[in-house]
């Protein structure tokens, strides 16, 4: 054991140099991290601390257990530079620090005496009426600990991800709970046909309106929604339903909050972060990790393992990966594909090495775990395994797709270019798996617009009831809403993501409760009187069969079940046979299905020739114009379409169809159907 500690210490000390020059040493380090048979959390706490802590004059553990007396339990600096203390159990066998009591570390720092929440705290709570958070010693007795009952599902062939936020998942204007999400929202996700739920805002964040992206306590699940045991119960229920649970993890930056978070933890500017301007993200107003520090690496690597092991998450969506990989953070930079943009002085090699390490650790410990990276740059080798020289992600988030849709929605669909749509959706690296999406939470935030609102605007407030006449704007919006989603899923990648509520065209944006904000220039941004009215999801609208939202929700559900049945997203066969600018038609094959999109605003085409690869009899398996989906029912679903030995659009055979305007239809061979 001693030799393993020694070698691992030597290995970790060399992170800044050996990982970029010595592949064999890199592999040995990773294997030691994975295989060392020691208490992981204890090992990481007692290993040598970084030199900045040597600047501390004193440190003490304070809390309710010792009446916040800084002289009662002073810490000592051990041979590795770590300030530590050991508290034995009480004489009656009870723990020295009671479960649920408040704790902090009082430090005499170069900038004065300060109390900090321990960096590795497992629970943090804001008391009613108070501004700062309190670190909570969380160690419930065995009878109160949640025991997982259901095995984790195997990774599905294709991912259909329902992106969600627990707090705003209630139809009521309030902060929802883990328990309510477990009981009310998870069954909905399952019924809609998704096979994974991606949960945002899990890591504790003192500012609710940050959407969970300004993390203060990295090891603590947000207390707003309930206890750690409640979160475990939620995840266990998802596993019972066969749903993977992915965590939206934030390792790209940290909150600049000095009261509750890591910023200024030891009274300096650079304990976890780069010092000076490099340690500050000018757009996000947050702190940037120093990935060249081996203590930071241990902290973040352990954090990833903690969520996998303690809470049994099935993987991660890593936020802000582009920001991590480049010193310019991908801001005000256009990536053209030139390799100099990826492998130059702007590349943060330490950050890329960290991503390689964390992906190798995740997959080394849990081969079934999923790792998705949010990268807009198109970094080469992003989804190549680490052992083959890649960064190691399983999927890249296809961020160009939603950007393209917003660009197109700012103009009339008469000017949309079919080739432009196809190019954007298919423009990804060979064999790089992508999670595609038409819109995520980003497009739903106040200041932006959802696709539904871009399409239908204020008409959504007055003309969505089926017992009232529709309008041309509503008819157009509902038709294009369905087509945009299906073509994105059909061509955009091997996985699909939707933010909760967008499946039925949620009419409102997301506006977190907030007060007025004063800017440095003296101007004031008005608040919303701390209202929760726009910080919720109106699932009742999608469920109401007397509203047109219901038809859009039914279509989204049909899309998910179509993919479940035919597995077209993961098929090796994909061929775009037509992208006709004048007809406004896109036709492609994905797997054994043939997709026909007519984006024309007025022209419907009779006897329209569709090329295909496989001969036989085809039937309609999905029709966006179906009355169930809010369409006009212009197609006969009992009709059969027989191929002829008539080559068309570079396909060996073809069949004729009726292609109504603004309609997407999917055909399958009758033998497959």
Residues with active-site annotation: 319, 374
DSSP letters spanning 508-577 = S-B------EE-TTS-EE---TT--TTSS--HHHHH-TTBTHHHHHHHHHHHHHHHHHH-GGG-S-EEEE
Distance from the first to the final alpha carbon of the chain: 59
Query: Are 442 and 525 in contact, with CB atoms under 8 Å apart?
Result: no
d(CA 155, CA 566): 17
d(CA 334, CA 644): 47
d(CA 176, CA 185): 11
Query: Are 438 and 401 in contact, with CB atoms under 8 Å apart?
Result: yes
243: tokens are: 């749903």
406: tokens are: 């917003």
d(CA 204, CA 221): 5
Q: What is the CA radius of gyration of the chain?
A: 27
Spatial neighbors of 359 by CB under 8 A, at least 6 apart, are 371, 386, 391, 392, 393
Query: Are 119 and 265 in contact, with CB atoms under 8 Å apart?
Result: yes
Running DSSP on this structure, what letter comes out for residue 17? H
Number of H helices, E strands in the chain: 17, 30
Exposure of 343 in the CB half-sphere (CA atoms within 13 A) = 5
Exposure of 60 in the CB half-sphere (CA atoms within 13 A) = 16
d(CA 596, CA 631): 16
CB atoms within 10 A of CB 439: 25
d(CA 578, CA 558): 25
């Amino acid at each position: 054991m001693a030799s393993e500690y020694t070698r691992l210490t030597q290995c970790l000390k060399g992170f800044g140099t050996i990982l970029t020059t010595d592949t064999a040493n890199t592999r040995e380090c990773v294997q030691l991290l994975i295989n060392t048979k020691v208490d992981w959390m204890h090992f990481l706490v007692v290993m040598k601390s970084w030199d900045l802590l040597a600047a501390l004059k004193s440190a003490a553990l304070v809390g309710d257990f010792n009446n916040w007396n800084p002289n009662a339990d002073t810490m000592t600096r051990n041979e590795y530079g770590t300030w530590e203390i050991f508290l034995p159990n009480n004489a009656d066998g009870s723990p020295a620090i009671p479960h649920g009591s408040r704790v902090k570390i009082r430090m005499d720092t170069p900038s004065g005496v300060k109390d900090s929440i321990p960096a590795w705290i497992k629970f943090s709570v804001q008391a009613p009426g108070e501004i700062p958070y309190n670190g909570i010693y969380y160690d419930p007795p065995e009878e109160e600990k949640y025991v997982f009952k259901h095995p984790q599902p195997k990774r599905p062939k294709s991912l259909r991800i329902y992106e969600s936020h627990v707090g705003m998942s209630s139809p009521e204007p309030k902060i929802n709970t883990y328990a309510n999400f477990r009981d009310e929202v998870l069954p909905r996700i399952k019924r809609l046909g998704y096979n994974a739920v991606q949960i945002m805002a899990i890591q504790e964040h003192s500012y609710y309106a940050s959407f969970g992206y300004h993390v203060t306590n990295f090891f603590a699940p947000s207390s707003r929604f309930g206890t750690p045991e409640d979160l475990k119960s939620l995840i266990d229920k998802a596993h019972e339903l066969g749903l993977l649970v992915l965590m939206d993890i934030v390792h790209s930056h940290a909150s600049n909050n000095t009261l509750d978070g890591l910023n200024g933890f030891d009274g300096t500017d650079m304990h976890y972060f780069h010092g000076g301007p490099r340690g500050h993200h000018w757009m996000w107003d947050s702190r940037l990790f120093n990935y060249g520090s081996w203590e930071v690496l241990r902290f973040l690597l352990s954090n990833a393992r903690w969520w996998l092991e303690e809470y049994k998450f099935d993987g991660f969506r890593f936020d802000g990966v582009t920001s991590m990989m480049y010193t310019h953070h991908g801001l005000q930079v256009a990536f053209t594909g030139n390799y100099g943009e990826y492998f130059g002085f702007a590349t943060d090699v330490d950050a890329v090495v960290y991503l390689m390490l964390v992906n190798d650790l995740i997959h080394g410990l849990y081969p079934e775990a999923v790792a998705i990276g949010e990268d807009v740059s198109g970094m080469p080798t992003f989804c190549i395994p680490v052992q083959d020289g890649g960064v190691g992600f399983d999927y890249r988030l296809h961020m160009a797709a939603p950007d393209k849709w917003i660009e197109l929605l700012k103009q009339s669909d008469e000017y949309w270019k079919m080739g432009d749509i196809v190019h954007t959706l298919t423009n990804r690296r060979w064999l790089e798996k992508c999670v595609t999406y038409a819109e995520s939470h980003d497009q739903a935030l106040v200041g932006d617009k959802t696709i539904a609102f871009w399409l239908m605007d204020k008409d959504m407030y007055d003309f969505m009831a089926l017992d009232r006449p529709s309008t041309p704007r509503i008819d157009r919006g509902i038709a294009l809403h369905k087509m945009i989603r299906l073509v994105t899923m059909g061509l955009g990648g091997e996985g699909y993501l939707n933010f909760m509520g967008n499946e039925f065209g949620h009419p409102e944006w997301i506006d977190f409760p907030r007060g007025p904000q004063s800017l440095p220039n003296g101007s004031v941004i008005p608040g919303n009187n701390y209202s929760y009215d726009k910080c919720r999801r109106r699932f009742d609208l999608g469920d109401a069969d007397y509203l047109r939202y219901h038809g859009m929700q039914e279509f989204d559900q049909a899309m998910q079940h179509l993919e479940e049945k035919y597995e077209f997203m993961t098929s090796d066969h994909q061929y775009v046979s037509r992208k006709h600018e004048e007809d406004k038609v896109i036709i492609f094959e994905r797997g054994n299905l043939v997709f026909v999109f007519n984006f024309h605003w007025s022209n419907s085409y009779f006897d329209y020739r569709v090329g295909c690869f496989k001969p036989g009899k085809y039937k309609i398996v999905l029709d966006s114009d179906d009355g169930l989906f809010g369409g006009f029912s212009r197609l006969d679903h009992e009709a059969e379409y027989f191929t002829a030995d008539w080559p068309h659009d570079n396909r060996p055979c073809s069949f004729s169809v009726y292609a109504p305007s603004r309609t997407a239809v999917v055909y399958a061979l009758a033998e497959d159907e």
